[in-house]
């Protein structure tokens, strides 16, 4: 009896770790015949777990959400409280690693009935933890749970994405992992349109759609997902660059800028191209303070940087009081 109970608990855990299992695979994992597996499945159903069985080559067993919570020794109120706590933990950074909390959240989302899930969504929407770490990049709690399930089930998904600079696109990807880094949530996946690995900011994603198409996991070109995201962020910082064309001869510019003129190049005898870069638009903009007063210059670079510089210039112009001695400098 103890052996049967232990096996059934192992079976339940296997059903919770993947969206669908083939009967042969489950029987092999448990070390039993498929006939014994079917009896164990029936025992789970008697305990209140809704295990769906489908026939055919692509068939198998999957654990479905029930009309009531299976007997996990939790009341409905306790289950709702735990689900809300997991959601809050997921959006506030994780003390024990992303996988533990998101895996637990995925399991709760799967077995919660529709009514309980509505309660979780309603209550969680009004829960505001103290000193939120991710407040500068709010993430939909529901979307985070959907992405966690897609990563676990290896299901291709579609979503809409707004990149830096406001560029819109619709993507089809194979999910891998969610990573919390740099005060934001990043989604690591294989982009089918780009035929390469990509990272996406979760707060810029919308219109999630599960395709029900499953895939074999690819090998990530990094030690782990956190290392991949760190590398991607470093590469992004390097890509954020622009040019300032200064009306200064290269010789004069180098005399005044010293070591900061290393990459400068002469455009002609009168103008010099000065590359600027940084890990943020603000850092890049601060580089312009090195340009001497009275030197004419133009900016050339990514649309998002040019728009940021124009908006900053307009804010500074408005900050100067009208009719002040300095107002003439803005004309």
- CA nearest neighbour of 287 among 268, 265, 308, 270: 308
Answer yes or no: is 162 within a domain: yes
Q: Is the pTM of this model over 0.75?
A: no
CB 295 within 8 A of CB 246: yes
Range of the domain at 13: 2-64
- Tokens for 133? 């770490």
Domain CATH code at residue 58:
1.10.10.10
CB 271 within 8 A of CB 264: no
Answer yes or no: is 71 within a domain: no
**What is the count of structural domains for the chain?**
3
Does 97 share its domain with 225? Answer: yes
Question: pLDDT (tens digit, 0 to 9) for every residue of the chain, 331 residues total?
Answer: 557 777 887 887 777 766 678 888 888 888 888 888 888 888 888 877 888 888 776 678 887 765 444 555 456 666 666 776 776 665 554 434 455 666 677 777 777 777 777 766 655 554 444 444 544 556 776 787 788 888 888 899 999 998 765 678 899 999 998 887 766 788 999 999 989 999 998 888 999 999 989 998 898 888 888 888 888 877 665 566 789 999 999 999 988 888 778 788 999 999 999 988 776 778 788 888 889 988 999 999 888 888 888 988 888 888 877 766 555 444 4
Q: What distance lies between CA 2 and its chain's CA centroid?
A: 43
Answer yes or no: is 70 within a domain: no
What's the distance, Cα to Cα, between the start and end of the chain in Å? 89
How many C-alpha atoms does 75 have within 13 Å on its Cβ side? 3
Answer yes or no: is 69 within a domain: no
How many C-alpha atoms does 157 have within 13 Å on its Cβ side? 25
Answer yes or no: is 154 within a domain: yes
- In whole angstroms, what is the distance from residue 262 CA to residue 265 CA? 9
């Amino acid at each position: 009896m103890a052996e049967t109970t232990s096996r059934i608990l192992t079976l339940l855990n296997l059903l919770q770790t993947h969206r669908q299992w083939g009967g042969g695979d489950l029987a092999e994992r448990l070390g039993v015949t498929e006939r014994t597996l079917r009896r164990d499945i029936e025992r789970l159903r008697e305990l209140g777990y809704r295990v769906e069985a489908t026939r055919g080559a692509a068939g198998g067993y999957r654990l479905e959400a029930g009309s009531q919570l299976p007997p996990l020794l939790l009341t409905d109120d306790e289950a709702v409280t735990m689900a809300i706590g997991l959601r809050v933990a997921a959006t506030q950074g994780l003390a024990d690693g992303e996988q533990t909390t998101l895996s637990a959240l995925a399991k709760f989302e799967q077995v919660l009935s529709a009514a309980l899930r509505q309660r979780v969504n309603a209550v969680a929407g009004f829960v505001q933890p103290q000193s939120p770490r991710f407040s500068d990049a709010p993430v939909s709690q529901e979307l985070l749970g959907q992405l966690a399930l897609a990563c676990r089930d290896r299901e291709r998904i579609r979503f809409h994405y707004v990149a830096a600079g406001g560029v819109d696109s619709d993507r089809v990807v194979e999910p891998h992992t969610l990573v919390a880094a740099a005060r934001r949530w990043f989604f690591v996946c294989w982009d089918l349109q780009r035929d390469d690995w990509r990272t996406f900011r979760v707060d810029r994603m919308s219109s999630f759609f599960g395709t029900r198409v499953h895939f074999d996991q690819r090998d990530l070109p990094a030690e782990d997902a956190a290392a991949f995201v760190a590398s991607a962020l470093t590469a992004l910082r390097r890509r954020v660059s622009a040019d300032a064309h200064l009306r200064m001869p290269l010789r004069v510019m180098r005399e005044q800028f010293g070591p900061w003129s290393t990459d400068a190049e002469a455009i002609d005898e009168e103008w010099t191209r000065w590359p600027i870069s940084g890990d943020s638009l603000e850092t890049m903009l601060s580089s312009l303070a090195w340009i001497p007063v009275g030197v004419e210059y133009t900016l050339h670079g990514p649309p998002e940087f040019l728009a940021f510089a124009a908006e900053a210039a307009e804010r500074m112009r408005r900050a100067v009081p009208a009719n002040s001695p300095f107002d003439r400098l803005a004309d």
